[in-house]
């Protein structure tokens, strides 16, 4: 296309011209620190979750640390209007995550407050979740969890303020006896996932597992 000639797609890391469906070049792809988690193992993200709430299984796609490529990728996804990056991250996830015929019943992503959704124009987790849903043939529900309060980004809050937040989420539907896979972008303190998990667990005889794009070191 003409636009591709004048505005070619470039690698997020080295600025090399790449195929329009890619986000990094082959060389820079090797710099991404994938966790290679086994979803069913007692891995480090599961250990962190277990300190906060009962969790069945957990998976993190990438490591997330200061100035690494994973951080750049997620920053572009969340703040630079590059929603399609979610599809690429979903493809990378499906290459590493095998449920071994023990799939969850429902995929649920962390919601944005309606005001934040309007400001950003999209939820950075929706396309990611929808592509996982299609690949694994597991239903998703973007309306299952409601965010009750508008607040500034977690990354801009200090730890004490994050810990003081109470009841930020609520469940919009009755559900019991289900295995829910909670999906978020970055696991930092884990407080957001814990808040949602406890609402799901209190609602009935449910189980919770976790999937994140990256885990903060």
34: its two tokens: 């994938």
> Which residues make Cβ contacts (< 8 Å) with residue 74, sequence separation at least 6?
64, 185, 186, 213, 214
Average pLDDT value for the chain: 91
Q: What is the pTM of this model?
A: 0.89
Q: How far is CA 146 from CA 88, 121, 171, in A?
A: 26, 17, 6
pLDDT in tens, 8-53: 999 999 999 999 889 999 999 999 999 999 999 999 999 999 999 9
The pLDDT-based confidence of 6 (bands split at 50, 70, 90) is low
d(C-alpha 70, C-alpha 17), whole Å: 19
Domain coordinates of the chain in residue numbers?
1-31, 32-216
Please check the confidence at residue 2 and state whether its pLDDT lies above 50.
no
pLDDT in tens, 112-171: 999 999 999 999 999 999 999 999 999 999 999 999 987 665 554 555 455 445 679 999
32-216: which CATH number, 3.40.50, 1.10.287, 3.40.1130, 3.40.1050? 3.40.50
186: its two tokens: 């970055």
pLDDT in tens, 92-112: 999 999 999 999 999 999 999
Q: Quick one: the chain helix, strand, coil %, rounded to 5?
A: 35, 20, 45
Cβ distance 18 to 10 under 8 Å? yes
């Amino acid at each position: 296309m003409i636009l591709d000639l004048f505005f070619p797609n470039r690698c997020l890391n080295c600025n090399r011209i790449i195929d329009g469906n890619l986000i990094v070049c082959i060389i820079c792809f090797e710099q991404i620190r994938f966790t290679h988690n086994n979803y069913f193992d007692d891995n480090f993200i599961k250990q962190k979750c277990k300190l906060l709430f009962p969790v069945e299984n957990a998976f993190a796609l990438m490591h997330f640390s200061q100035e690494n490529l994973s951080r750049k990728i997620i920053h572009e996804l969340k703040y630079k209007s590059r929603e399609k990056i979610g599809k690429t991250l979903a493809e990378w996830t499906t290459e590493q995550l095998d449920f071994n015929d023990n799939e969850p019943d429902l995929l649920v992503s962390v919601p944005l407050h309606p005001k934040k959704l309007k400001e950003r124009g999209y939820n950075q987790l929706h396309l990611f979740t929808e592509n996982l849903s299609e690949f694994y043939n597991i239903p998703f529900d973007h309306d299952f969890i409601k965010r009750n309060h508008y607040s500034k980004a977690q990354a801009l809050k200090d730890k004490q303020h994050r810990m003081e937040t109470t009841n930020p989420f609520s469940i919009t539907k009755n559900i019991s006896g289900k295995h829910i896979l909670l999906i978020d972008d970055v696991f930092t303190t884990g407080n957001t996932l814990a808040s949602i998990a406890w609402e799901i667990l209190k609602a009935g005889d449910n189980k919770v597992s976790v999937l994140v794009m990256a885990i903060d070191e």
